[in-house]
Amino acid sequence: MLKAYWRDFVRFIPLLIELTARDFKLKYRRSFLGIVWSMLNPLLIMIVITSMFSILLKSPPSDMPFAVYYITGSTLFSFFSEATSSSMTSVIMNASLIKKVYIPKYIFALEKCAFSFINMLLSGIAMLMVVAFYVIQGDICPHITMFLILIPLFFTFIFTVGVGLILSALTVFFRDIMHIWNVITTIWMYATPIMYPVELLRNHGLEWVIKLNPMFYFVDDFRNLMINGIIPDISHFFLSFVICFGVLSGGLLLFKKVQDRFILHI
């Protein structure tokens, strides 16, 4: 099965690139600032959230500046939320193309994840600007471990593709998922320590929320490598590996099992 997926993937890489380029053109068409919005948007949201939580509520979540704590977590979670939400309708939205020519249908979900990942990298420029500001201020210190952030980024991408495949397959048959998923991602975001310290969950006996939340592992590893200079234990990386590739394998299996019936429902 994996060989067949790989052959199709290599064969249709030009289409994947073309679809991604199309999404960029559509998103920033007639926009004066264009892709600059990918950097401005997280900065503006960060300023609003920082004003509310660190100034009004006086609740810094850690030793690092709140702005850094928030933007390092929200960058990853925003990618996950955007990618899965767009992947969910990717098969349905390309129904006319699927009916005309043969295209591996998972390409559409993968393309949405790739597009959102590139958007996240652009948002990452804003994150680096915030980090650099506080480094210059002397509030945080740069660490060599920041070059290892590609590991949690890779895990997050693989996990997101797996979830995107599952959602895109199920949404063809159950359209209600489009409405439910928005609620789920909102709950998921608040269950992930992005705006509050992880100790808050532990102190309220909600440590099980952490253990059952894959995004916590990715965000925590990302913060530790980027800001704290801490390399997570190898068992932590292994757990992230098992989670993301387990979800990806489940997504591929489900997609392969039901994709032949898509044509009857789209």
Q: List pLDDT tens digits, range 173-199.
A: 998 899 899 999 999 999 998 888 888
Per-residue pLDDT band for 261 (boundaries 50, 70, 90) equals confident
Per-residue pLDDT band for 103 (boundaries 50, 70, 90) equals confident
pTM, entire model:
0.89
Least confident interval from 27-41, 62-76, 145-159 = 27-41
Give me the half-sphere count of Cα atoms (radius 13 Å) on the Cβ side of residue 124: 14
How many domains does the structure of the chain reveal?
1
How much of the chain, in percent, has pLDDT values that exceed 90? 35
What is the per-residue pLDDT for 34? Answer: 63
CA distance 204 to 217: 19
What is the per-residue pLDDT for 141? Answer: 83
Q: Is the pLDDT of residue 229 over 60?
A: yes
Do residues 7 and 99 make contact, with C-beta atoms less than 8 angstroms apart?
A: no
Q: Which domain holds residue 114?
A: 2-264
- Identify the burial level of 176 via C-beta atoms within 10 angstroms of its C-beta, where 0-12 means exposed, 13-18 middle and 19 or more buried: exposed
Greatest mean pLDDT among 54-68, 70-84, 115-129, 222-236: 70-84
On average, the pLDDT of the chain sits at: 85
Query: What secondary structure letter does DSSP report for 196?
Result: S
Do residues 182 and 100 make contact, with C-beta atoms less than 8 angstroms apart?
A: no
